[in-house]
Amino acid sequence: MKKLILMIVCMLGVYGQSNAQGNNKIVVKVDKINSSEGTVNVALFNSEKDFLNKPYMSKIKDANGGELEFEFEAVPNGEYTISIYHDVNKNGELDKNFIGIPNEPYGVSLEGRSMFGPPNYSDAKFTLANENTKLVISLD
């Protein structure tokens, strides 16, 4: 009987610990997809150091000329940013002109776009803390 009680207490402790770390879901609705050519690429970043370079998670779907939804599940609590681009020519990268301005539609979380240069992590970050989140990001 003591072993059974100990086992139950241990199981509750493990459950409580995993619940405290967060098991969040992020739903990203992408709108203003202007064509059905290519793919829409969504990247979730969990650090400023990796922002726009090394995603924590990513998803790709065929473009549909309207809206798409992407889901990231089992996301731990923490700070995150999201960047999206419509890879019209399916070459796997955000095409830019000779001075570095994107030629393909893109967007970031919290509309954290910069007037000049790439988006800033601090303008695009949001915090997850034991909750599900839905973001709507428009491509421009």
Q: Do 82 and 28 touch, CB atoms closer than 8 A?
A: yes
Joined together, the tokens standing for residue 134 give 């839905």
Q: Given this model, what pLDDT does residue 103 score? A: 94
Which domains occur in the chain, in start order?
Answer: 22-138 (2.60.40.10)
| Per-residue pLDDT, 13 | 45
Predicted pLDDT of residue 71: 98
Give the separation between CA 23 and CA 27, rounded to whole angstroms: 13
Q: What is the pLDDT of residue 46?
A: 98
pLDDT score, position 17: 45
User: Which positions of the chain have pLDDT values less than 50?
Assistant: 1-19
The whole-number pLDDT of residue 70 equals 99
